[in-house]
Amino acid sequence: MNIWFTENQSDSLRLSLKVKNILYSSKTPYQNLMIVETEQYGKALILDNIIQTTEYDEFFYHEMITHVPLFTHPDPKKILIIGGGDGGAVREILKHDTVEKVTLVDIDEEVIKTSKLFLPTIGCCLNDPKVEVICTDGIEFIKGKKKYYDIIIVDSTDPVGPAIGLFNKEFYNNTYDALKDDGILTVQSESPIINTNVTVDIYKTIKNIYPVTYLYTGIVPTYQGGLWCFTLGSKHYDPLQTTVNNIGFITKYFTPEIFKACFSLPSFIKNMLEGD
């Protein structure tokens, strides 16, 4: 079978994966959703023709968006994820013994249902007793919350469609209010190669709100350019003053050394962040 899924990563860049099978396809109230079995990376969750995650490469992203803030905080108990309906971030967060409750707020119930059904290695923990799943708009959900969470993770799609309100000052201000006095926000921050302006905007907006702000990088093979950014905004703890000696559970990407190394930015990213 010579069938390919092609993602337009930009107007002039495409990534194509050979398809073994189209397992599911639907139009949800918010987006087009597909589960496609690929030869290279296993099953893939695709929203509006953009690869969100694949069985093979999901660990790169999910480990980096969770363990960096959770190891920066000495005692993370209450965690909020906005987006992340596939469940990969939930799975990683539950590896931390300190965690008492994870609230996952994803606007699209179908993503959650589909992930549980078709991507069990990713959606495996969505029924865990510590996990509360709320299907609503994260932008509205966060409004009015006061000093409740230790960690907020914004695990969103790209800044188009339903996710666009997750990329502005009002939303980041609301996350600040919703975090305890020593809370930490982490936001997926796009490709510094293809979406340079988005990466810089997220970083600068968060830096204007949070006293401790860093950009850090990871790898995501199926995302544009392979290099991916995350922004960490912290009200108190500084990851560069934190040492992780022992992880205490199994990971595929994250290590104590990666916890340090991910904050070492290439010159071109440093220059991007320092520009006007």
234 is a contact residue toward a second copy (CB under 8 A): no
Question: One-letter amino acid identity for 85?
Answer: G
State the minimum distance, in angstroms, from the CB of residue 184 to a second copy: 22
242 is a contact residue toward a second copy (CB under 8 A): no
4 is a contact residue toward a second copy (CB under 8 A): yes
Cα→Cα distances 185→122, 205, 209, 250, Å: 22, 13, 11, 24
252 is a contact residue toward a second copy (CB under 8 A): yes
Query: From the list 70, 193, 206, 229, which residue makes contact with a second copy (rule: CB under 8 A)?
Result: 193
3, containing H or E segment: strand 3-10
260 is a contact residue toward a second copy (CB under 8 A): yes
State the minimum distance, in angstroms, from the CB of residue 39 to a second copy: 4
User: Residue 201 has which token pair?
Assistant: 């905007």
143 is a contact residue toward a second copy (CB under 8 A): no
From the list 57, 86, 155, 158, the catalytic residue is: 155
Nearer to a second copy, 51 or 89 (CB): 51
CB count within 10 Å of CB 174 equals 19
Query: From the list 1, 197, 264, 274, which residue makes contact with a second copy (rule: CB under 8 A)?
Result: 264
221 is a contact residue toward a second copy (CB under 8 A): yes
Nearer to a second copy, 210 or 228 (CB): 228
Nearer to a second copy, 151 or 272 (CB): 272
Q: What is the distance between the alpha carbons of residues 124 and 184, in angstroms, rounded to a whole number? A: 25
255 is a contact residue toward a second copy (CB under 8 A): yes
Q: What are 220's strand-pairing partners?
A: none
Query: From the list 267, 274, 275, 276, which residue makes contact with a second copy (rule: CB under 8 A)?
Result: 267
Residue 10 φ/ψ region, left for φ over 0, alpha for ψ in the -120 to 50 degree band, beta for the rest: beta
121 is a contact residue toward a second copy (CB under 8 A): no
Residue with tokens 């544009």: 224
Q: Which of 248, 229, 176, 177 is nearest to 206 (CA)?
A: 176
253 is a contact residue toward a second copy (CB under 8 A): yes
197 is a contact residue toward a second copy (CB under 8 A): no
95 is a contact residue toward a second copy (CB under 8 A): no
Cα→Cα distances 236→28, 72, 113, Å: 40, 10, 36
Residue with tokens 């073994």: 20
User: Residue 275 has which token pair?
Assistant: 């520009």
Q: What is the distance between the alpha carbons of residues 148 and 186, in angstroms, rounded to a whole number? A: 16
Nearer to a second copy, 127 or 271 (CB): 271
Q: What is the distance between the alpha carbons of residues 26 and 274, in angstroms, rounded to a whole number? A: 43
* 155 in catalytic set: yes
Would you say 97 and 218 are in contact if contact means Cβ atoms under 8 Å apart? no
Between 196-207 and 267-274, two packed helices, what is the crossing angle to 10 degrees? 60
Nearer to a second copy, 135 or 219 (CB): 219
98 is a contact residue toward a second copy (CB under 8 A): no
Which pairing describes strands 149-155 and 32-38: parallel, antiparallel, or unpaired?
Answer: unpaired
Binding site for a second copy (CB under 8 A): 4, 6, 10-18, 38-40, 57, 59-60, 193, 219-221, 223-227, 250-255, 257-258, 260-262, 264-268, 270
The residues annotated with a catalytic role in the active site are 155
